[in-house]
């Protein structure tokens, strides 16, 4: 006799038994699932992205796990600590995936500070072995991080004892929860000191109808005053690779709702065919009042394709490079159907303009408002 048979012979009414058996399904249906939140963190001139995946409060079931994912850490291992605490990522939190897109200090330096603050489970790097002392420090700290695995290179054959790789080729799927479709589309450790940008990890994340493309400092052309091909209509390098391998007559795996515009808005990125293939609605530039970025020609290219531009240097005019962080965080929140994108701090100029529009609207409304009793029937 099984437990259900024994239970049904007990004095407990069958109605109560039926409720008891169906109760877990009722409770599961009422579980609140938090949205996917992607924070484009204003670190000045550099990249830092904090992703909070949806959470149903049930750990270990492989879906809606509520992961913290960091892509790049910006240029300062000290400033990033205050910035992340202000945003709400508490000291000692677990980072399931920590990703360095490539070996430039405006991307990896802040990760050193984060490794002091947080517990990272999986750390990923494209694997170019930069000679920089600070990059060596990042790799060493990542390697000895307790209870962590350091994937170096992300794609390829490990060359450093103690490291692993995620796989041998792209595209490669990342497990960030069953509700998300996440792939590494590009990673290349076989670059030189002058082409480190084109080692950048490129990751595409899809949640229902809303998708993101994270690009590091990927490039697609040379500068007009340098040797090489600089026609914005004919991409070369990493952008050419993405177009050749992910865009065809029957499939386009680059198309994304929201694009982290490559290389801080440099004109050496974002050729017209690349923008057309991604076809983003929103483009986010992570810059900080340095090197003349973002470039005006790049912004014009995106706007000509109908892309709305968001910038982490929005309030940086007149500031030094070391003062350009913390005031232009951009947050995207989505349930997989609709999304909201906004600056966390309002622009005082925009606020003043909005107040002026509201005042004018109120005056116009008052001017056409009927006098008391006017228009009323007897």
Residue 8 pLDDT > 80: no
The mean pLDDT of the chain is: 89
pLDDT given for residue 225 in this prediction: 65
Tokens of 67: 């992961």
Phi, psi of 157 (to 5 degrees): -105, 125
Residue 10 pLDDT > 50: no
Residue 21 pLDDT > 60: no
Residue 228 pLDDT > 70: no
Percentage with pLDDT > 70 across the chain: 88
Q: Following CA atoms 17, 23, 26, 32 in sequence, which dihedral angle do they give, to the nearest 10 degrees?
A: 170
- Record the pTM: 0.85
Q: Following CA atoms 207, 209, 210, 211 in sequence, which dihedral angle do they give, to the nearest 10 degrees?
A: 70
- Tell me: the pLDDT tens digits for 293-311? 899 999 999 999 999 999 9
| Residues 166, 130: Cα–Cα separation, whole Å | 20
- Tell me: the pLDDT tens digits for 172-225? 999 999 999 999 999 999 999 999 999 999 999 999 999 999 999 999 998 876
Percentage with pLDDT > 90 across the chain: 75
Nearest CA among 128, 125, 70 for reference residue 95: 70
Instruction: Tally the residues of the chain.
Output: 378
Neighbours of 9 (CB within 10 A): 9
Between 1-15, 133-147, 288-302, 352-366, the lowest mean confidence (pLDDT) is in 1-15
pLDDT given for residue 226 in this prediction: 59
pLDDT given for residue 88 in this prediction: 96
Domain 31-346: which CATH number of 3.30.1380.20, 3.30.310.50, 3.60.15.10, 3.90.550.40:
3.60.15.10
Mean pLDDT, range 78-100, rounded to an integer: 97
- Tell me: the pLDDT tens digits for 24-78? 444 445 679 999 999 999 999 999 999 999 999 999 999 999 999 999 999 999 9
Instruction: Give Dmax (Cα) for the chain.
Output: 93
| Residues 115, 292: Cα–Cα separation, whole Å | 31
CA distances from 250 to 113, 120, 172, 247, 253 (A): 44, 39, 20, 8, 10
pLDDT given for residue 370 in this prediction: 58
Find all residues with CB under 8 Å of 320, minimum gap 6, and list them.
289
Neighbours of 1 (CB within 10 A): 6
Find all residues with CB under 8 Å of 38, minimum gap 6, and list them.
49, 50, 51, 52, 212, 258, 331, 332
């Amino acid at each position: 006799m099984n437990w259900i048979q024994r239970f049904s012979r007990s004095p407990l009414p069958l109605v109560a038994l039926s409720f008891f058996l169906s109760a877990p399904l009722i409770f599961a249906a009422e579980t609140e699932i938090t949205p996917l939140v992607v924070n484009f963190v204003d670190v000045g001139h550099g990249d830092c992205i904090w992703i909070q995946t949806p959470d149903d409060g049930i750990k270990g079931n492989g879906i809606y796990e509520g992961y913290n994912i960091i892509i790049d850490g910006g240029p300062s291992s000290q400033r990033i600590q205050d910035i992340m605490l202000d945003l709400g990522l508490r000291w000692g939190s677990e980072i399931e995936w920590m990703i360095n897109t490539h070996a430039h200090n405006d991307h990896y330096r802040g990760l050193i500070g984060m490794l002091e603050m947080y517990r990272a489970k999986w750390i990923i790097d494209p694997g170019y072995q930069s000679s920089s002392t600070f990059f060596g420090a990042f790799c060493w700290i990542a390697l000895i991080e307790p209870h962590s695995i350091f994937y170096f290179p992300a794609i390829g054959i490990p060359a450093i004892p103690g490291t692993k790789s995620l796989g041998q080729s792209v595209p490669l799927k990342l497990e960030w929860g069953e509700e998300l479709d996440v792939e590494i589309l590009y990673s290349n450790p076989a670059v030189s000191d002058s082409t480190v940008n084109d080692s950048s990890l490129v990751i595409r994340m899809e949640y229902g109808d809303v998708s993101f493309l994270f690009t590091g400092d990927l490039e697609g052309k040379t500068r007009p005053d340098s040797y090489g091909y600089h026609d914005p209509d004919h991409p070369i390098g990493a952008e050419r690779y993405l177009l050749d391998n992910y865009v065809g007559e029957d499939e386009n795996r680059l198309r994304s709702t929201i694009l982290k515009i490559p290389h801080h808005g440099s004109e050496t990125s974002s050729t017209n065919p690349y923008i057309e293939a991604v076809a983003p609605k929103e483009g986010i530039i992570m810059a900080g009042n340095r090197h003349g970025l973002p470039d005006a020609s790049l912004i014009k290219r995106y706007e000509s394709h109908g892309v709305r531009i968001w910038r982490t240097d929005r309030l940086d005019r007149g500031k030094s490079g070391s003062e350009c962080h913390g005031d232009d965080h951009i947050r995207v929140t989505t349930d997989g159907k609709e999304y909201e994108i906004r600056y966390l701090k309002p622009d005082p100029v925009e606020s003043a303009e909005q107040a002026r529009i509201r005042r004018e609207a109120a005056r116009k409304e008052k001017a056409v408002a009927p006098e008391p009793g006017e228009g009323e029937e007897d």
